[in-house]
Amino acid sequence: MPAPILDARMQRYLIAHRVARLTTVDGAGQPSVVPICYATDGAVIYSALDAKPKRVAPTALRRVRNILTHPAVALVVDDYAEWWADLSHLIVRGTASLVAAGTAEHAAAIALLRDKYPQYAAMPIAEQPVIAIRPTTARFWAATPDAEEQGAEPARALDFDALVRGRRSVRAFRPDPVPRALIERVLDAARWAPSPHGRQPWRFAVITRPERKARLADAMGDTWQATLAMDNESPAVVARRLANSHARIHDAPVLILLCLYTADLDHYPDPDRQAAETTMAIQSLGAAAQTLLLTAYRLGLDGGWMCAPLFCPDTVRGALDLPPTLVPHALLPLGYAAKDPKRRPRLPLDDLIVHWD
């Protein structure tokens, strides 16, 4: 049996992306390019003739007329990023045709498209033919070796709104290692977060070795046990909470400790302005953490946010042999989610807006 035109990596790339550029040619050899939505079953690529506003009937679209005249087409799916190591594209050449409504292939194609694009659920796309592209050749290119080959999950091709709403806080991770290149990319993204005077008053400690994670978990656990004892928690509750905390630290493939670094901030003679300067720096830690977590989610990772270092900065600093100029603030575990976490509901927007002129 011949190898499939679309190999496993190409199929994942197509599934992960949302928009392609379809090139068709008319009878006079004039090319036409149009962005399309699409879905694939791994062998054929389908595109709906949807009901978005158009000046002509769907079957009179230029791409349809061209396909009926000249069925050879090309499809391009790509990623562009200012980080040029992220550049990649997939070029598929093939033969296109129209699949008529009422056929089994048409029904399967409509199901694929509606599963990928929720907007299609309410559109009457089942009444129109579907464009089917049967690949004859395909070529994938990436600026750097595919992170999937290093055991990473494929990146999530999301717009910003979907990225913000999709990010979730994960507590349990698979043991799969995270490629160093992905860790460097999330850290590089974090350094572009806003900060007072552009001083970037944060530093990162990256912990991946099991013995270092165990040392940190044990040190923090001793401090937390004493804290819980002051809260009059029962021994069973203390033991359970300590075990859960230890597991979160020990089982995460990567821990990123976010530290406050104030040496480069402005210095004032009065305590009020100096306190405000420090508060600005602490606020920027949140911006750096959010940028880091969003980038991690975009790259196929998941993360969490543990504030425990705030309650025992000296303990954390000692466990990791950090200098006194660094103040540990947050621990961000990263990896691949072992399961989908429960999402906590968000307050309605009206409850959050307290004043609007």
Query: Residue 151: inside a domain, yes or no?
Result: no
Query: Residue 348: inside a domain, yes or no?
Result: no
Query: Residue 20: inside a domain, yes or no?
Result: yes
Using alpha carbons, select from 112, 105, 80, 78 the residue that is nearest to residue 92.
78
**Domain of 54, in residue numbers:** 8-144
Query: Residue 153: inside a domain, yes or no?
Result: no
Gap between the Cα atoms of 290 and 285, Å rounded: 9
Q: Do 34 and 171 lie in a common domain?
A: no
pLDDT reported for residue 262: 95
Q: Do 191 and 321 lie in a common domain?
A: yes
Q: Do 180 and 300 lie in a common domain?
A: yes
Q: Do 184 and 242 lie in a common domain?
A: yes
pLDDT reported for residue 149: 53
Q: Do 233 and 325 lie in a common domain?
A: yes
E-strand spans in 8-60? 20-25, 31-36, 39-40, 45-48
Q: Do 120 and 254 lie in a common domain?
A: no
Residue 335 has phi, psi (to 5 degrees) of 170, -160
pLDDT reported for residue 6: 95
pLDDT reported for residue 80: 84
Q: Do 109 and 47 lie in a common domain?
A: yes
Q: Do 139 and 232 lie in a common domain?
A: no
Other CB atoms closer than 10 Å to residue 353's CB: what's the count? 8
Last residue of a domain, which of 88, 115, 144? Answer: 144
Q: Do 66 and 112 lie in a common domain?
A: yes
Instruction: Domain count for the chain, please give it.
Output: 2
CA distances from 45 to 49, 109, 220 (A): 14, 9, 53
pLDDT along the chain (357 residues), means of 10: 85 90 96 97 94 69 95 94 80 97 96 93 91 97 64 70 92 93 93 95 97 94 80 82 89 97 95 96 97 94 94 95 97 94 90 94
Supply the CATH number for residue 44's domain: 2.30.110.10
Q: Where do the H-state alpha helices sit in the chain?
A: 8-16, 62-69, 104-116, 160-166, 180-190, 210-230, 235-251, 271-298, 313-320, 349-352
Query: Residue 309: inside a domain, yes or no?
Result: yes
Q: Do 314 and 239 lie in a common domain?
A: yes
Q: Do 172 and 304 lie in a common domain?
A: yes
Q: Do 179 and 293 lie in a common domain?
A: yes
For 128, the token pair is 């129109």
Query: Residue 70: inside a domain, yes or no?
Result: yes
Query: Residue 243: inside a domain, yes or no?
Result: yes
